[in-house]
Amino acid sequence: EPEVTQTPSHQVTQMGQEVILRCVPISNHLYFYWYRQILGQKVEFLVSFYNNEISEKSEIFDDQFSVERPDGSNFTLKIRSTKLEDSAMYFCASSVWDRDNSPLHFGNGTRLTVT
């Protein structure tokens, strides 16, 4: 079964550094998302992306965050200057449509640790 793949599985970085988290969504999916889960907290929506632009973003997704689909297969999340509170599991997800009968498919996540 097709799956969403994320790399790396674990990233350690120093505060203030830039990080790029990478994702390869399922090939026939059109909508892409980033969610995050801080340890012990709920999964939170960050951003949705369609047709090469952001369709919706949460309050968490400030100017330090950006997303890009640099080619036909990859979808990336960049954090420009990481903070300690950015430490979390970041999940990429994709869906065929952005409609009420189109389930989300998640990757296994990238655990980001900011020291």
Contacts to another protein by CB under 8 A: 4, 6, 31, 33, 35, 41-45, 48, 55-56, 58, 91, 93, 95, 97-109
Farthest-apart Cα atoms in the chain, separation: 41
Q: Which is nearer to another protein, 31 or 79 (CB)?
A: 31
Minimum distance, C-beta of residue 92 to another protein, in the bound complex (Å): 9
Minimum distance, C-beta of residue 60 to another protein, in the bound complex (Å): 12
Q: Which is nearer to another protein, 13 or 108 (CB)?
A: 108
Minimum distance, C-beta of residue 65 to another protein, in the bound complex (Å): 16
**Run of H or E residues at 105:** strand 105-106
Minimum distance, C-beta of residue 19 to another protein, in the bound complex (Å): 19
CA atoms within 13 A on the CB side of 38: 9
How many residues in the chain? 115
> How many whole angstroms separate alpha carbon 86 and alpha carbon 26?
26
Nearest residue to 54 (alpha-carbon basis) of 66, 43, 64:
66
